[in-house]
Each structure stands twice: as C-alpha cells, then as structure tokens.
Structure 1
Amino acid sequence: MDSTRKAELKAIEKKLLWLACWTIHNANHLREKGDGLKVGGHQASCASMVSIMTALYFDCLRPQDRVAVKPHASPVFHAMQYLAGNQTREKLEAFRAYGGAQSYPSRTKDIDDVDFSTGSVGLGVAITAFSSMVQDYLAAKPWAAKRPEGRMIALVGDAELDEGNIYEALQEGWKHGLRNTWWIIDYNRQSLDGVVREGLAGRIEAIFGAFGWDVVRLKYGALQKAAFEEPGGEALRTWIDGCPNALYSALAFQGGAAWRKRLLDDIGDQGDATALIERRSDAELQELMTNLGGHCLETLGETFAEQARHDRPTAFVAYTIKGWNTPLAGHKDNHAGLMTPGQMEEFRATMKVREGHEWDLAEGLDIDEAALREAVLSTPFFAAGRRRHHAEPVATTGPVALDDKVLSTQAGFGKILDQIARSESKLAERIVTTSPDVTVSTNLGPWVNRRGLFARDAVADTFRDERIPSAQKWAFSPEGQHIELGIAEMNLFLLLGAAGLSHSLFGERLIPVGTLYDPFISRGLDALNYACYQDARFLLVATPSGVTLAPEGGAHQSVATPLIGMSQDGLASFEPAWLDELSVIMDWSFDYLQRDGEGDPDERTWLRDETGGSVYLRLSTRALEQPKRREDEAFRRGVIDGAYWLREPGPNCEVVIAYQGTVGPEAIEAAGRIGGDRRDIGVLAVTSADRLNAGWHAAMRMRKRGHRGAMSHIERLLSPLPSHCTMITVIDGHPATLAWLGSVCGHRTAALGVEHFGQTGTIADLYHHFGIDADAIVAAASELAPGRPVRLVNPL
C-alpha cells in the first residue's frame, strides 16, 4: 500500500469514527425527542469496528462480495454509505427516528446498500454461510449466468459468538464443503454486561479449526510489532499476551500514565524494557498499547489480501478496543454508554471539527472533499454503484389436478410436486427443496427421486450400488435440486432466507421450498422472522400438524402455529382441507413469492398482493374423502382470498359453522345433524384465517381514511347473515385463530379448538377430548341457540 493510499484510508477511518459518534450524539442529545427517552446507538461498539470496516470496504471488497454488518456498527455502515453518496444527511440526522436510518442495517427499511439485515444477533452471521452454499448451487446449474464468485462476509462481535445458531451453521457448512466465507470477529473482549472470559480466543480457534476453517489472529498492529523488535520488546510482548482482558480494557480507559505505571511495575528492569517505555510520551504509549491488530489498517489490509488468495472459510480474530480513540475506550460500562456533551466536546477538539460543520465530508481531515470523494468512489466496491440484482419471474404451470378419492394434504403436496418434477418447465428447473432431515417423512421423497440431491461433487448411492432395495434414490450431484440438512430448524430457515434472496444477491431466480414438522416451527422462529424481515421469498410446508397427529403425543402436536402464521409479517398462511384447494394455493404461491410490485391494495380484498411475500402451508397427515373437484374461477378466488361457502347459508340462517383445515369432515357432519333443528345452516370453508384477518383490518383502516365503501372479503361473506345467527368456529389448533370472526359483524360465537398440550390416542379420542369433533360442534350449537341463555362453557 503506497503512502498516498494509506493517508486516504486514515482519513476515511477518522471520518467514519466521527460521523458514527456524531450521528448517535445528535440523536440522543441534540434532536428534539418529545418523550425524553434515551435513543441509544452504541458509540463504543462502532469505534471498535471502524478500522476493520475501513480496511475491508475501501481496500479489499469487490462488488460481488456480500457483507452482514455487526448490528451495533450500523452507524459506521450508514456513515460509510453517506461518504459514497448512498445515504443522506437527513436520514443520518433522523437516525433511530421515524423515517431515518435504521438502528440496525435493514435491506427493506434503509435506503443504503444493505446486503443482509442484521439485528437479531447471530443470524446475520450464519446466513452468510448459507448464502455461500446458494452461490455454489447456482454455479453448478447450466441455466445460471456465470458471474464472478463473491465472498460472503460477516462482521461479528465476540459476544455474538454466544449464539447457538452460529455453531449449528458451522456444522452444516462443514458437511457441504463451505467456501468463500469470512467471519471477521471484533474481539474487543467486552459484552453488554461485562468483560468476556479469559482464553476465549483459544476456544474460538479450536472450534473453527475443528470444522475446517482457517483461523487468523490479528492481535498486534504495526506499531506494536515494531516495538517488539526493539531491545526489551520481547518482554513487552510477553506482558501483553499475559494481560487479563479486564485489566487491558481498564488501562485503555485510564490512558498513557496508567499504562506507564503498570508496565514499569510489571516489566521495568532499569534496562531495555524500561528504556522502551520511557522513550515514549503518555500519548505515544496510549497509541502503542491500543494499536492492536484490529485497529491497524496496514495489518488488516495485508492480512485480508493474503487470505483472499484462496476460497477456504476463514475466521479472523481481530483484537480491538471497545470505544477505541474515544473518551469511552475500554470502560466496562461503555456498551450502551454515550459520550456526555462534555466528552463530545473533548472528542470534537481531538477530531478538529468546527461547530456547525459536523456533517461536512472533509471537515477535520488533511484532504479536501473532492479528494475524499474520489478516494471513496474509486474503490472497486463502491465504483460499481448499488449492487442489487433483478431476476425475471418464472411462469407457473397452473394448478395440478389430483384424482385421488381419499388422501391427506401432506401426501397431496408430495404428488403435486412430483407432477411438477416430471415436467420440463422452467418452474421445475428453478425449484430447490430442503428439509431438516425429514425429507421423506414430509413427502419430498418423490421429488428427490426425480430431481436428485445437490452436492458440488458427485456422491453415489451406496445402497443402490450394492443392490439393496430402497424406495429412495440418495445420490448427490451438481445437477441435484434438493439440499439435505441436519436436524436444525434454524439452519432450515437461514437457508430458505438465503435462497429466497438469490434473485437480489446473485441475479438468479430460485423457488425455494422447505419442509419441516409443524410443531417445530417454534424451534426456528427467530430465523423465520429474520428471513421474512429481509423479504426473502420461499414456500414453507409444515406437516404434520395439530392433535390430528394423534399417536405421536404432545411434543409432536402443534397448537400455536396457526397464530404464528397470522402474526408473522411477510408470510401468507394457508391451511387447506382438500386437495383441490391445495393445488390452487400452491400454484398461486409460486407466483406470489416472485412478485415485487409497489403495494397498491386490491380493492376487492384490500390485500397488497402485488408486493408478494413468502407462503406457509399447514398440512395434515389425515386422509380425507375428497369432494368432487372444483375448478371454477369463483372457487379458486375464494380459496386464495381465504374462505368460501362450502354450504351457502339461507336467508334465515340460524347457525354458521366455520372451519379451517383437517376438521372439515366434522364440520360437514355437524351441519347435517343440526340441519333438522336449525334453519338455513351455512358451512364456511376457511383456507386462510391470516388473509381474512389482514383484509378485514386493511378495509377498516381504509374506511377511516375516507374510503367508505371499502369492504373486505370476510365482510362480504358474513354481512348478509341475520343478526341472530350463531357462529361456531372449529380448528385443530388454537381457537383464537378463528374466534375473531364473530367480531366482523357482531355474531355470537363459540370458538372450538385446542388450548393445551396434546397427548397420545386416536384421532377420535383426541377430537372428543379437546371438543373439536362433530358432537362438540352440535353441542355448541345447542348451547347458543336463539332464545336460550348463552353459556360459553365446554359442552363436554
């Protein structure tokens, strides 16, 4: 690195440190807030990352590289994008305020060039490994454009390594031959509450090494390495290596005089070591002792360049000082600490920033604005402009018709996917499936048999080669379209998130389909939320569901998942009962997850379907006798909108039974039994409580805004019912999923469902126990009959 470029990088490093700290100070101490609450912003965590991000972005990265930024370094990232012209002063001044730069980098809410949203610690780290796997998957496909391979990079706080999902990802990466992945660990040795345990660096190296990663320590900066070559330098090095983390941090906070006293007490010999210390002023000694590898642009640049020569996964342990070069440096309380106005003025003087010029690009620097701008924009990473790709949608093939008379929705899903696998359609080509070691038991077996398992290098099916009969073909090849995962739902959702962003990250459209057991959605819920927050697009197929999985007992029977489907933003949730419903929903889903419109609502439903999103199917193992196949447009529209009348209510309807999912036969049986005593019974087939509820709330919001005629789908369905009509809702899941239907038009409602952990038994046993069988529905109708006292109790 020549002297000119070194000076440019030092100027960028200084400016990023100032802007990050000033952005946070402005938000907390200068901007009008009204509520008086602390805004926050992590000045110390920003300071420890400044040098690493400067060396990485301005001396190492290429446009094809992708970075997940440590959440608490968000202000540094925004400052960097401000220098590059991708962020505005107005957004920085509104940091952590409405409409401003986000607290943590966000792909969907920030205007600057965010590769991966971060914020739920650990997940932004792990998704880089799965993005590298997706990149390898695309590189193996003949239909994918050949692009330069990028590195998937995570900037990681050392305390962030406490997150368990990181280690689950390490094992999965080892199984798949992970490449082109860097995790750069900000080893500042401080967490939110204190200082990390001694010896953590050694543990990190051992763990990463065990999974085949290169591990590179960046412990000493150029000043320290030069000092070690002086007489007495070896004693200094030995002292640094043996110094406890807490003491090193405390001395960094106290400054040069404290360093001098401690070093002279511990290694002063009235000879070489003493002379080494005495040759330096207090300021020079502070600079020397805080010149760790993670704060030395020269050391960082050389190390990154060396590791860039190969594609092995690499963990960099970069020693830093939390709060480096600020008045907060090293203090154990600095994680959420803020510089006081007095400390900020001290910092301002150090940075040579004049009052009123805080946002000026070159203020306090030894280069002018034009030179700074040129230094930034000539960097390969920024020279290419914004790096998000676009991929054209893939046409769907239309609903797949199944002729089975009796079948479960889980088995129907497998048959539909198998029919798609038989085709030579572009849709079939772009589908990639994955599952956490439940591939066969979630009915992906037929798809895998036709399309194969993916691996960069071919692996034969030994059982088949040895002529041992097996229903499954388990051979791996670059042509395969199923990515096998171990039993870790976090990894499933992280892979779906990475594959669901392939069109934006890599310019190639994938249709990711992930399957898992419905009750175990909760085990990966953080990663599911994270994938949706990034606007990743995928089809999630969860089966088997509910107490319908009767013999398996409570640990395998899901209760709350319908509510998760309703509450999770970015995820349209469906629970079909019948095969023709499932077929329509799957075809719609493959199109929906590719949409990226502006979000104007459909005035028929008031749902913003143009924007697209991901889809969750809650399916069942219970085989049901199928109704005659329905193919008319009104039926298909009702299925997608969330409900349709399976039995149209008459003008004097006294009871409506609304069901979702596999309890459809119980609803139909109960309607037949009630029909002799009650007039004009209606049966409402709900395919998506999620979409019904979303449309209802959207229509109410629109009416408040002056659209008086706005009416949701569920309001059109229920508004003709007489006011005395009773509604009974039933689901193999939490009753709150459908209980709100009574609020739409004010009908009395009995909500039947499952509120407690399940247990073993037959379907009939459990439906009777939880009060969701036909008897329970009939009893509820009797309890709520017009003219009788209403007692909302379990009739059983």
Structure 2
Amino acid sequence: MMDQLKVIEQRLLWLACWMVHNANHLRDKGDGDVKVGGHQASSASMVSLMTALYFHALKPEDRVAVKPHASPVFHAIQYLMGNQTLEKLQDFRAYGGAQSYPSRTKDVDDVDFSTGSVGLGVALPIFASMTQDYLEGHGWLKQPKGRMVALIGDAELDEGNIYEALQEGWKHEVRNVWWIIDYNRQSLDGVVREGLWAHMEQIFDAFGWRVLRLKHGALQRAAFAEPGGDKLRAWIDACPNALYSALTFRGGAAWRERLMADLGDQGVVSALIDRRSDAELAALMENLGGHCLDTLKDAFDSAQDERPTVFLAYTIKGWGTPLAGHKDNHAGLMTPTQMEEFRGRMGVPHGAEWEPFAAVEDVAGLKAFLGTVPFFARGRRRYTAETLPAPGVVALSDKMLSTQAGFGKIMDEIARAGGPLADRIVTTSPDVTVSTNLGGWVNRRGLFARDPRGDTFRDERIPSAQKWAFSPQGQHIELGIAEMNLMLMLGAAGLSHSLFGERLIPVGTVYDPFVVRGLDALNYACYQDARFLLVGTPSGVTLAPEGGAHQSIGTPLIGMSQDGLASFEPAYLDELAIIMDWAFDYMQREGKGDLDERTWLREETGGSVYLRLSTRPVEQVLRRPDPGFQQGVIDGAYWLREPGPNAEVVIAYQGTVATEAIEAAGRMMGARRDIGVLAVTSADRLNAGWTAARRARARGHETATSLAERLMGQLPPHCTLITVIDGHPATLSWLGAVAGHRTIPLGVEHFGQTGTIADLYRHFGIDADAIVAAAARITQGRPIQLRA
C-alpha cells in the first residue's frame, strides 16, 4: 500500500502544479499578461496529507472541507478517480473550468463543502457534525455516522470565527470531527510567529480535543535513533520557522553548512551528517510529519473513536518543488525553466503532462489499487430527499399585533398541528430565542441535546413560562451569542438533504441589526446553496427605546443584494402567513432554473428566505382572500389602493411604516382621489424580476414584462412616487427608474437613537407628516387640501 500511496502523492503533486502552470504560462488568457494564480506552493504542502486522507483514511460517509488554496490537489484527486474532466482542468480558473476554490454549486467534481472565505470552511464541519447528531437523535440517520473533516492552513487560525465555533462545539459535545492543520508556518505575507503550535495545542486541549502533533517523519525518527541523533532533534525543535524555511529553499549544501556551524565537530553528530549526501541530507531535513505517508497513515489510524481530533502536521510550503521554503512562494509561480527542472525530477515526458498515469511503472497495479479505495467505493455521494408538503397558510385573527409576534404564533400553531414538515423543522437562535418569539415553539417541541437534561427550575417547582427540557428528540438548537455560528448552523442544517439524504427545514432567528455580524457566514451558506429561513427581528428604528446600537438601517439592502436569499418585509399578518407558507415550499425546490415568465425569476431553483420583522403592533386589515393579492405578496408588491388614471402621487412603502403611508394617503385623499398606495412586501424580488425581464428582452424575449413594469406602467408620466421605509431609502428609490417617474425616497440613513417611535419617525422624516409634506412640494405648486 505504501508504494501505491507514494506514487499517488507524486502524481497529485505533478498534476496540481501543472494545472496552475498551464493556466498562467501556456493557456491563452485573452487579457494580456494578467496573472491567473493558483497557489502551487500551498498545494504542494498539502499533497501528502490529502493523499493519506483520501486514499487511506476516509470512508464514503465522511465529508471534507478542503483548504481553499489546495483546490488544485482536490481537482487532481477527482481527475485521477474519473470524477473530473481534462477540459475542466485545462480551464482551471477560466470561465466554465475547475473553480479556484472548491465549490459545491460550480464544480462538477464531488465537493462536500464549498471553501474560499478563510476560516468558514474550517468551522462548518463542526456544525455538520451537530446536524448529524441531530439526525441520529431523531432516528433519521440511515447511513453510518461519518467523520466531518477540515483541511486547514495554519494562517487561517487567525480567524476569530474558528474559536467561536470551537466553543459552540464544546457546548454541544461535538464528535466525529477532524481538523488537519497544514502547519507550514508561512502565510501570504510572511512567516507564522514562533511558538504558535503551543498555544494552539492548549486551546484545543481546553475544549476537549485530542491533539496529535506530527512534527517528525519516519526518516527523521530513524536518524534520531542514531548516535548523535538527540542533538540533531534538539536543533530541529529549536530552529526558528524563518530559518528552517530559508535553509529548505537553499538545499542540502546549506543544511550541511548550517548544521556543522551550529552543532560543531561533535564526532557522532558530524558522522551522522557526513553519512548523507547533500540530496539525502535535504530529504532528511524536509521529512516532516506532514510529508511522511507512514506517519500520516499511523496517525489517522490511531484516531478511530468519536473524539474530536486535531492533527498538527508540520509541512514545508512548496514541498517537492523549486519554490519550497521561499517566503514569497504563497502567490509565486514556477518559471518555465523551473517547471522543466521539476518535470525532469518527476519523470513526466513531453506530451504526457495531462496523462493521469504518466511516469507510473505499474499502471495496472495502480488502477487496481484505486478501485479498492474506500472513500470512492460508492461513487458520487450527493444525496437527495423527498419534498415535504407545506402546512398551509396559518390564518391569525388578531386585530392588533406585530409581525414578530405573528411569526411566533404561526410557529406555535405549526408545532401544535404537527405533520411531516413540522417534525422536520429545526429552529436555532444565538441566545435570543424568547425575545424573537420562538418560546411557544420550543415549549411544544423541546430543545435538542445528545443526552436528556431536565428543566431544573421546573423540577424545583419554580414558575416559568419556558419549558427548557433537553432531549435527543428536541427540535430547537440553542446557540451562544455568536451570529457567525448561527449562520454556519443554518448552512449545515440547510445542506442536510444533500449531505445525509434527510431533509431538515432550518429556521433561525436573530436581532435584525446583528445580521451584519454574521454576514460573511450568511453569504457562505448561500454560496453553498444551503436552504433555510432566517428571521431578522426586531428591525429598524421602530425598535425606538433600544437606541441606535439595536436599530438596523442597511439590512433591506443586504436582503436585496444577497444571492440565493429571497428577502421579504411584510407589514401585516396575512402577508406574513402567506410568505411563510410559500417559503417552506421554496426552500425545498431544486429545479433546473428556467425563468418563470410571470415574474422572470428562477422560481424552480428555490433558495433560502429572509424575513425582516418588527415589534411594532399594527392594526390589521380585513382578511383578503383574493388570489391576486396572495400572488402579489409573493411576487413582491400589490396595490393596497389602486391609483386612478390621473394620479399625481403614489406612496410606495415596505414594512411597518404602512400605518404612516396609509394615514398620509387618507389625509391627502380629499383633494387627490386618484392617489395610489403600493404595498411592497419584497423589494428584493420586485427588483430582481425587473432586472431579469430587462435581460430577457435583451436576449430576444421582446414581450418580457416584470411585475414592477406592470405596476409602474399604469401610472401617468407626471405621477410622482414617494417611497418610504424604516431602512435605507435606496431600498425603494429605484422604482422611479422602472418607467421614468420622479421619485422622492424617504428612509433612514444615519444611526438611530433612543426615543418613542413617533419621535424617531419624525426625526428621520418617515412619518405621515413628512410624506404629506413631500407630496405638497411636488404637486406643481398647488397645495394639497388636507382632511381635518
């Protein structure tokens, strides 16, 4: 086996380096001499680790997040196994080719977790393991438990979200997780600080992880057993990172000179060094644990229980290439001359550069070995799961209620009524479960933990509205105050159907202003095409007494700009109920992406959903059974009051400022009966449909018309739009561009402050008086007669 692993290691090293070389030096880039990049050195430091992992240690149920800069090695592995095409490799980092960093949605090979945003791919396996535990606790895991693995660059350990994830994993007794650290002690701009390994070991030990330090390979350990080997080991262990890297780059003669200078003529030590040629001495000094297949194989085999384990694998950046050890090698590329030298050492003939088995003496034997590798034995490991029927629209009869409270009531009713979808909902929140109105759901469905834990307050007969009992069958995962962890948990649970073949419906709640604290992880979850419902509440300056620190301004724009996330901000309970019922279905769609010619949105593909809700109680309108109303709510807008043919003013609002918009329209109605009021439930979908229809017309669909165009197209040219939102005014200001109408956008552009809702609405100019005043200024100098 070891001979075969060594051959594979060398093939992967060559293919990864050649892939990058081809992209930068041989392929027609079409844009001059712009560097393509590709991280040859970062790939080289990982090649032994990934060889031992994929071709020895992993099983089909295991899942791996690959270090972003080791993408060429990953693609080479898949190419060797027939899961990646030559054309994709030749187009690495080009349009339609293998991706710069492994991508679940854009690569054709078998990517488990997308990586790219540093540190997030490291943390996600913790939450994938928690999701696996959740499925097991509910009796839904139909395959053997897999190990969730992260391949990590040591510089990634500077990312703070990693330590938030470690702590959350400790709280939930995470298991079946491996982190494999490529400890090459070099980052993008320099060399990693001395002694980092000791601090890392202390941190992992504190969180209950097994720490396996793989510093010395088999060659070094054998040399240490020779006379004088103890002094050589002491020198290696004390050698500064920068010096070790520099000597590696300079080669065997430099090693000899430095060792002899530092250790002196000590007889046995000198003899140990003299017994080796320069090439043998260089091989000995570069034989770190992360490049020794024997050491890696034994280490992986020693960690077969469920305890989370971190492997601190010492490596050399650029190992096996002319770039090895140089401090500038992170973004460096082998020159054509260096590549020819490298080709000679690898034994690859000209014309056989892309041949998977070039320079392999026993091709039949290697192919036979590859056919027995456990990880690839079942073929592709991307699963599907049945679609669950949505529970139907939950009608609420409250006459005065906030959308946040309405969300809680709808969730409570779903929990009470039960059914297949209710049983698959898993809720989660970063320590704001009760204050985001999930308390009723949790009381009915319980909290999840691997082992049952009672409610101490209840056992001690202390009255409490909350029933905080934990069990493996609970349906709420309580997280600490770390929004990054919330988004990662939603991402992992939202991939359950694909990773484990069992569908979950994740629902996460967060204070809306703190969406931005988890924005990188939210983007990461959407990039993976994870499916979840994110509820941001309370939102806006409407949360008046809390002050600016708890008031959100830009989140509507986040909802509009975030790919893979349909954003809504309903004002009324019936709108909210319709949206939630639609969302539970939308989250499960996996169509091919054909455009819906009504909305010009890719409705079949589905995605995640974001609700921006409010704590402000609003007087509810009468129930509206009109199908057109329901469709408008989902598509993004409907006429609350349809404008007449001579409308001079239309008020378009989104969210809880509906009350101000309606009041302002009522006060102006005596003089301007044609005034219209447009209820926007989703500026995101309304805008996306408009831009998609424009693109469709550019591509020959001349009749393509979006909802926004149908709504604005019925307005006379002289009509002025007044848009208003408790959020950034740019959310709705674009409406004027749809048909060329003058627009006055009202909204919030600056940090809020404490006060009453009336105070803050007046301060920011989003109250009824401000709307009326805006209308008065644009009606051709004629004042609007106001109702008493």
The reply to whether TM is greater than 0.5 is: yes
Q: Distance in 2 between matches of 1:351 and 1:147?
A: 41
Query: How do 1:602-751 and structure 2 match up within 5 A?
Result: 602-751=596-745
Which one-letter code corresponds to 2:718 in the other structure? H
Which one-letter code corresponds to 1:305 in the other structure? D
| Number of the residue aligned with 1:213 | 209
Q: Distance in 2 between matches of 1:599 and 1:783?
A: 45
Q: Distance in 1 between matches of 2:250 and 2:402?
A: 69
Paired residue secondary structure (1:662): helix
Q: CA-to-partner distance for each residue in 1:386-433, whole Å, 9 max, x for gaps?
A: 101110111111100000000000000000000000023011100000
| Number of the residue aligned with 1:59 | 56
Q: Is the 8 A contact 1:125 1:155 kept in 2?
A: yes
Which one-letter code corresponds to 1:592 in the other structure? Y
| Number of the residue aligned with 1:530 | 524
| Number of the residue aligned with 1:378 | 372
Is 1:766 aligned with 2:763?
Answer: no
Out of 288-297 and 374-383, give the one that drifted further: 374-383
Query: How do 1:346-495 and structure 2 match up within 5 A?
Result: 346-368=341-363, 370-495=364-489
| Number of the residue aligned with 1:509 | 503
TM-score, normalised with respect to structure 1: 0.98
Q: Is the 8 A contact 1:449 1:473 kept in 2?
A: yes
Is 1:570 aligned with 2:567?
Answer: no
Is 1:204 aligned with 2:200?
Answer: yes
Q: Distance in 1 between matches of 2:717 and 2:322?
A: 69
Is 1:73 aligned with 2:67?
Answer: no
Is 1:230 aligned with 2:226?
Answer: yes
Q: CA-to-partner distance for each residue in 1:156-194, whole Å, 9 max, x for gaps?
A: 000000000000000000000010000000000000111
Query: How do 1:255-404 and structure 2 match up within 5 A?
Result: 255-308=251-304, 310-368=305-363, 370-404=364-398
Q: Distance in 2 between matches of 1:510 and 1:579?
A: 25
Q: CA-to-partner distance for each residue in 1:209-231, whole Å, 9 max, x for gaps?
A: 00000000000101011111111
TM-score, normalised with respect to structure 2: 0.99
Q: How far 1:93 moved relative to its partner?
A: 0.6
Paired residue secondary structure (2:634): helix
Structure 1: where are the runs of 5+ without partners?
790-796
Q: Distance in 2 between matches of 1:771 and 1:218?
A: 63
Q: Distance in 2 between matches of 1:165 and 1:269?
A: 49
Q: Distance in 2 between matches of 1:98 and 1:196?
A: 34
Counting matched residue pairs gives: 782
Q: How far 1:61 moved relative to its partner?
A: 0.3
Paired residue secondary structure (2:375): helix
Which one-letter code corresponds to 1:705 in the other structure? R
Q: CA-to-partner distance for each residue in 1:591-620, whole Å, 9 max, x for gaps?
A: 000000001011011010100000000000
| Number of the residue aligned with 1:24 | 20
Which one-letter code corresponds to 1:728 in the other structure? I
Q: Distance in 2 between matches of 1:732 and 1:374?
A: 65
Q: How far 1:272 moved relative to its partner?
A: 0.8
Q: How far 1:787 moved relative to its partner?
A: 6.0
Paired residue secondary structure (2:678): strand
Which one-letter code corresponds to 1:483 in the other structure? I
| Number of the residue aligned with 2:786 | none
Among candidates 121, 124, 134, match of residue 124 of structure 1: 121
Q: Is the 8 A contact 2:249 2:322 kept in 1?
A: yes
Q: How far 1:741 moved relative to its partner?
A: 0.2
| Number of the residue aligned with 1:193 | 189
Q: Distance in 2 between matches of 1:590 and 1:413?
A: 14
Q: Distance in 1 between matches of 2:252 and 2:580?
A: 66
Q: How far 1:376 moved relative to its partner?
A: 2.1
Q: Distance in 2 between matches of 1:745 and 1:401?
A: 36
Q: Distance in 2 between matches of 1:642 and 1:304?
A: 52
Q: CA-to-partner distance for each residue in 1:49-88, whole Å, 9 max, x for gaps?
A: 0000000000010000000000000000000000011101
Q: Is the 8 A contact 1:107 1:114 kept in 2?
A: yes
Which one-letter code corresponds to 2:117 in the other structure? S
Which one-letter code corresponds to 1:316 in the other structure? F
Q: Is the 8 A contact 1:724 1:786 kept in 2?
A: no
Q: How far 1:145 moved relative to its partner?
A: 4.1
Query: How do 1:148-167 and structure 2 match up within 5 A?
Result: 148-167=144-163
Q: Distance in 1 between matches of 2:365 and 2:695?
A: 51
Q: Distance in 1 between matches of 2:647 and 2:165?
A: 56
Q: How far 1:788 moved relative to its partner?
A: 7.2
Q: Is the 8 A contact 1:670 1:775 kept in 2?
A: yes
Q: Distance in 2 between matches of 1:601 and 1:547?
A: 37
Q: Is the 8 A contact 1:434 1:482 kept in 2?
A: yes
Out of 34-43 and 403-412, give the one that drifted further: 34-43
Q: CA-to-partner distance for each residue in 1:15-68, whole Å, 9 max, x for gaps?
A: 000000000000001111122200001100000000000000000100000000
Q: Is the 8 A contact 1:68 1:115 kept in 2?
A: yes
Q: Is the 8 A contact 2:132 2:141 kept in 1?
A: no
Which one-letter code corresponds to 2:472 in the other structure? P
Which one-letter code corresponds to 1:221 in the other structure? G
Q: How far 1:270 moved relative to its partner?
A: 4.1
Q: CA-to-partner distance for each residue in 1:515-534, whole Å, 9 max, x for gaps?
A: 00000000000000000000
Q: Is the 8 A contact 1:64 1:149 kept in 2?
A: yes
| Number of the residue aligned with 2:34 | 37
Q: Is the 8 A contact 1:654 1:679 kept in 2?
A: no
Q: CA-to-partner distance for each residue in 1:760-796, whole Å, 9 max, x for gaps?
A: 000000000000000000011111113679xxxxxxx
Q: How far 1:510 moved relative to its partner?
A: 0.1
| Number of the residue aligned with 1:179 | 175
Among candidates 109, 113, 120, match of residue 110 of structure 2: 113
| Number of the residue aligned with 1:792 | none
Q: Distance in 2 between matches of 1:70 and 1:527?
A: 16
Among candidates 150, 153, 165, match of residue 169 of structure 1: 165
| Number of the residue aligned with 1:244 | 240
Q: Is the 8 A contact 1:448 1:473 kept in 2?
A: yes
Paired residue secondary structure (1:464): helix
Paired residue secondary structure (1:378): coil
Q: CA-to-partner distance for each residue in 1:438-475, whole Å, 9 max, x for gaps?
A: 00000000000000000011111111111111110111
Which one-letter code corresponds to 2:480 in the other structure? G
Q: How far 1:362 moved relative to its partner?
A: 1.4
| Number of the residue aligned with 1:96 | 93
Q: How far 1:654 moved relative to its partner?
A: 1.1
Which one-letter code corresponds to 1:642 in the other structure? G
Q: CA-to-partner distance for each residue in 1:358-385, whole Å, 9 max, x for gaps?
A: 00111122222x4333322320111211
Q: Distance in 1 between matches of 2:244 and 2:324?
A: 11
Percentage identity across aligned positions?
76
Paired residue secondary structure (1:692): helix
Q: Is the 8 A contact 1:221 1:293 kept in 2?
A: yes
Paired residue secondary structure (1:630): coil
Paired residue secondary structure (1:515): strand
Which one-letter code corresponds to 2:54 in the other structure? Y
Which one-letter code corresponds to 1:343 in the other structure? Q
Paired residue secondary structure (2:436): coil
Q: Distance in 1 between matches of 2:90 and 2:418?
A: 53
Q: CA-to-partner distance for each residue in 1:569-597, whole Å, 9 max, x for gaps?
A: 00000000000000000000000000000
